[in-house]
A and B are shown apart, each in its own frame.
Chain A
Amino acid sequence: MDDLLREFITETNESLDVVDVELVKFEQEPNNATILDNIFRLVHTIKGTCGFLGLPRLEGIAHAAETLMGKFRDGAPVTQEAVSLILTSIDQIKDILGELEAAGGEEPQGDDSELIGHLEVMSAKADAAMAGGGEEAPAEEAAGDEASEAEADAEASDSEDESDAEADQALERPLRPGEVSLDELERAFRETEIEVEVAEASATEAEEVAEEVEEPVPAPAAVKVEPKAPEAKNKTEGKSEKKAAGGSVSNQSIRVAVDTLEHLMTMVSELVLTRNQLLEIVRRHEDSEFKVPLQRLSNVTAELQEGVMATRMQPIGNAWQKLPRIVRDLSQELEKPIDLEMIGADTELDRQVLEMIKDPLTHMVRNSADHGLELPEDRRAAGKPEKGVITLAAYHEGGHIIIEVRDDGKGIDVDRVKEKILERGLATEAEIEKMTDSQIHKFIFHAGFSTAASVTSVSGRGVGMDVVRNNIELIGGTVDLRSTTGKGSSFIIKIPLTLAIVSTLIVEASGDRFAIPQLSVVELVRVQTNSEHRIERIKDTPVLRLRNKLLPLVHLSQLLGIYEGEDADKAIDADNGFIVVMQVGSQTFGVVVDGVFHTEEIVVKPMSTMLRNLDMFSGNTILGDGSVIMIIDPNGIASAMASHASSAVAETEEDEQEDLARRAISGQSSISLLLFRAGAPEPKAVPLSLVTRLEEFEVSKIERSNGRDLVQYRGALMPLVYVNDGDCHKTEGTQPMLVFSDAGRSMGLVVDEIVDIVEDRMHIEVGSERPGILGSAIVKERATEIIDLGYYLPQAFEDWFMRKEMDIEALTKKVLFVDDSSFFRNMLTPVLKAAGYDVTTCNGPQHAFELLENGDKFHAIVSDIEMPEINGFEFCEAMRRDPRFRDIPMLALSSLVTPASIERGRQAGFDDYVAKFDRPGLIAALKDVFSGEMGVAA
């Protein structure tokens, strides 16, 4: 295939893509002359070029399509039918082009007469419609009409170039009619800049009209020619200059083969590596004469690297280009009116990444249109506008690009998904029962999973979301799903900006070096015996007190499982070490390392497939000294950290500030805490309001029965519970204990010593995974463990939570907790606080309504079900009836969890239904509610 043809194919394909998009726009605003001109121009260029290259089939179709579009421009009404027909023609052209390319330049055999026939019929119809409309000067193809056309164009695009071009044409045509198309063609190949094409194409347009003059059409409008022609002529002189200028503009951009760029990129990567090696060598020789030149080399390399990277960046809009057309077609096929909103189309990302997400995105948009959005009648019934909206949004976030595909449809039908899960045997009914909705949603990413009730031509074939996920994961991205029943669902894709170069901090752990991406490193803290920063321990959990915050710590070698000492807990040397404070998402934590070296720009090389399953590393690279180093994946570290002995969720600074502000206003978060010691020298605390009495019993009074220790207390047997398994009571004297009572039952918690009662704010800084401990807080300047009563109560009476209800309060998100039992209100407050919520409690729906009426705002409401007077279901129904409160998410909390009660809860309008004894479930449900809400709000 010769170069000319190849270039023709590339350009034509690009033009066709633009035409696709423009046509869809045009259909929506048929009166926009600019769009129509643009389309007309592109199609015309294609036609002209085809004629020149001897491609009669393409030319024929393009010509017929152009004629029809000409009618639109002349004022014929734009019908959907007509636009569809043009789109079909465009598709046909694309197909022929594809075959042309495959065949190496031979136009394939085929008959387009049918399509052309349709187009002609449509043109005739358009004519008829115009005539019927009684338009006075419907610019039919007529002698001289060309000039008025030229004028219209000049006005529409107020571009001088254009009017110049018109002028040019007006002059040129009478002189050398035969040469024009050649001219035009040359320009088409010479000039790639749009501005220039506008000029050139308009010229040809006008010309085209002129040619059509010869066609047998009546010519009523010749009058206008005369006055316009002189004006056109006046501008002729300017024309040649403009053309020259246009030419130079076009010379400023050139086409470069992708391979060339890729090669350049590889070479620059190698250059960066070599430069690093040189720097490493010079670092060892202090006064080397290479130092200065190397510095310059280094700067130049950096700039070169940046420059090459920039050539690879492309706006994500390029990947979206085809979507408006696809959505339009789907909209017709599925008979659902759909709006496609695109936000952030100019967000740039590496073209390699761009290529990889094109298909997954298309698939997801199709999915949203088919599965997500409801039919218009259903939407009406649900009180939504008939027209569904699919939103594509892209934005940067911390070295990643986030792409959201969102629809305002019905959301994911959890029950259907459940059915499918069962049907496919992916999980058992019992397992499903325990899953949160969001866990269930994740199943749609399983292979062969489709919930579309029937197979349509669009989707429902069961291949899809798993492929999407695989493709995205292939480039180191993740895909997440948020869905709210009735409100819609959104897919959130997170992908790296570029796959190439990152700046990292080189650290050492257990004799090995690792690279930590700088992006996630907040600061470095040096810990020494007498420095201001010390590592403290709560039981065995190390924490760092940093600016009055507790930071959970873990040694890197522990996380990576390479600690060589006997006892992994002793990996952290409290007197000497470096702490890399990292922030990943909202998680902040300290990673202890043995040494910190320098920072280095590294070229990420993908890990071998065999090692790609390791979450801890995102890749590897060759350092300046020639050795290979593993690159830590901060996300992997963060999730390992979370599952490590102490779950490490220190709140972010913003939260802290928010918290401070809130405290200043309310000042109510300070509560009485009872401090005591049990089993270990560190202080422990429990909210005093939970403790019924403090008692001391003679040791001899403690009796043993049925394998447990009991005392007789107020005429009943009270079981004793120890803070740590295996602890035992004193052997002589008296034994202090905390007595907790509720509804006639009591439990004694055995302690070593009651220390103090303090008024303090209970702000849990560090969460805990250890059973029995909610987390750690600073109480009286000391790190103190807050015990979790919810863990100990069932040890005394297993059914404690079965018969009682619980309560809640919180911090960052305001949560209203409604329960009639003060005991459980106090019980759940710390649980929710530990999870970071700002909790307000009230003793029943009446009280809750009062608070809400007073204008108190809550982000969510957690309500008990079994309450006197008004029960939880009624409360929820009342809330849902009130338009002011309708949108507040509500969770039901009950000891009674049966499918029937869950169903009742859903009918009443609860967003989720959680068992009272399932505290992690409650936290997870709240988290879901909030994340879903954020997804919708974003």
Chain B
Amino acid sequence: MSVLEHKLNEDQNAASDMIQYVTVVIGGQLFGLPISQVHDVFVPESVTRVPMSAPEVQGVLNLRGRIVTAINMRRRLHLPPLEDEQMMAVGIEYKQESYGLVIDTVGEVLTLPAASAESNPSNLDRRWAEISGGVHRLDGQLMVILDVDRLLGSMFTEPMVAA
């Protein structure tokens, strides 16, 4: 009886600890963004570049009347640019401002238990490690959790320090 109850509790706990991820592919690597942070998925069109900005800032664009800052994730991760292919973007909110992460393609939504996330391997590229919130082992591949706060936060502080 007590054993059964215990198991039930465990199941419930597990259910409440499930996280839904929107998966995206950047340079062949699967990434996951917590679905709660993703506002929309769109095709970045007529992006106005912003001279003098950080290289990973692809530019600004008009998304239904809001000005969105597009961040090229390939450049952020120091990957070569994607040739001749339509890129996609996921819209996120950070500190009441809209950002678009420009990625290669958007995949399915995965529901994964939070507990199965593993911490970053210690030999992960430092530039990747600083924006990765951990790794999930899936069948046949790994999914890196994109930590949006760290990703954008690091871009805020850098220019500040320089200034």
Contact = CB atoms under 8 A, between A and B. Distances in A.
B51 A562 contact: yes
A627 interface: yes
Interface string A612-633: 0110110011100011111000
B52 A616 contact: yes
B18 interface: no
A627 B47 CA distance: 8
Interface in B139-163: 152, 155-156, 159-160, 162-163
Given A614-B53, A628-B61, A630-B50, A608 B163 contact: no
Contacts of A546: none
Given A614-B52, A630-B48, A630-B50, A620 B156 contact: no
B76 to A, nearest CB: 12
Contacts of A614: 50, 52-53
A610 B152 contact: yes
Interface in A622-671: 622, 626-630
A560 interface: yes
Contacts of B50: 611, 614, 617, 630
Contact of A611 (B69, B95, B160): B69
A305 to B, nearest CB: 18
Interface string B39-76: 00000001011111110010111100101010000000
A101 B59 CA distance: 47
Nearest to A274: B65
A515 to B, nearest CB: 11
Nearest to A626: B62
A609 interface: yes
Contacts of B49: 512, 562
A363 interface: no
Q: Which of A610, A617, A626, A627 has the most CB of B within 10 A?
A: A610
Contact of A613 (B61, B95, B163): B163
Contacts of B61: 628
Nearest to A625: B46
Q: Chain A interface: which size bin?
A: 20 to 34
B62 A608 contact: no
A608 B67 contact: yes
A440 B51 CA distance: 32
A627 B46 contact: yes
Interface in B60-114: 60-62, 65, 67, 69, 95, 97-99
B67 A610 contact: no
Contacts of A187: none
A270 B65 contact: yes
B51 A628 contact: no
A227 interface: no
Nearest to A556: B51
Interface string A545-568: 000000000000000111000000
A252 B57 CA distance: 52
B97 to A, nearest CB: 5
B156 A622 contact: no
Contacts of B99: 608, 610
A629 B162 CA distance: 26
Contact of B60 (A560, A561, A626, A628): A628
A445 to B, nearest CB: 13
A560 B46 contact: no
A445 B155 CA distance: 25
Nearest to A613: B159
A504 to B, nearest CB: 15
Contacts of B60: 608, 611, 620, 628, 630
A442 to B, nearest CB: 14
Q: Which of B51, B54, B97 has the most CB of A within 10 A?
A: B51
A629 B156 contact: no
Nearest to B97: A608
B69 A561 contact: no
Interface residues of B, number: 27
Contacts of B163: 613
A872 B46 CA distance: 66
A932 to B, nearest CB: 27
Interface string A490-515: 00000000000000000000001100
A802 B38 CA distance: 67
A559 to B, nearest CB: 9
Nearest to A623: B62
B155 A610 contact: yes
A874 B155 CA distance: 58
B65 A560 contact: no
A610 B57 contact: yes
Nearest to A513: B48
Given A608-B99, A627-B62, A628-B60, A616 B51 contact: yes
A622 B52 contact: no
A609 B97 contact: yes
B98 to A, nearest CB: 8
Nearest to A512: B49
A605 B156 CA distance: 19
A109 B66 CA distance: 49
A611 B46 contact: no
Given A610-B69, A628-B67, A560 B51 contact: yes
B19 to A, nearest CB: 26
Contacts of B65: 270, 273, 622
B69 A608 contact: yes
A561 B52 contact: yes
A396 to B, nearest CB: 29
Interface in B12-56: 46, 48-54
Contacts of B51: 512, 560-562, 616, 630
B57 A627 contact: no
Contacts of B152: 610
Contacts of B67: 605, 608, 620-622, 628
Contacts of A621: 67
B25 to A, nearest CB: 24
A106 B95 CA distance: 37
Nearest to A616: B52
Nearest to B46: A627
Interface in A751-807: none
A626 B67 CA distance: 10
Nearest to B98: A608
Interface string A253-287: 00000000000000000100100000000000000
Contacts of B54: 610
Contacts of A273: 65
Contacts of A270: 65
A622 B62 contact: yes
A619 to B, nearest CB: 9
Nearest to B69: A608
27 contacts: A273-B65, A512-B48, A513-B48, A561-B52, A609-B97, A609-B156, A610-B57, A610-B69, A610-B152, A610-B155, A610-B159, A611-B53, A611-B57, A613-B159, A613-B163, A614-B50, A614-B53, A616-B52, A620-B48, A620-B60, A622-B67, A627-B48, A628-B46, A628-B60, A628-B61, A630-B51, A630-B60
Given A610-B54, A613-B163, A620-B67, 4 more contacts: A620-B60, A622-B67, A627-B62, A630-B51
Interface of B: 46, 48-54, 57, 59-62, 65, 67, 69, 95, 97-99, 152, 155-156, 159-160, 162-163
Lowest 6 A-B CB distances belong to which pairs?
A560-B51, A613-B159, A608-B69, A628-B48, A628-B60, A562-B51
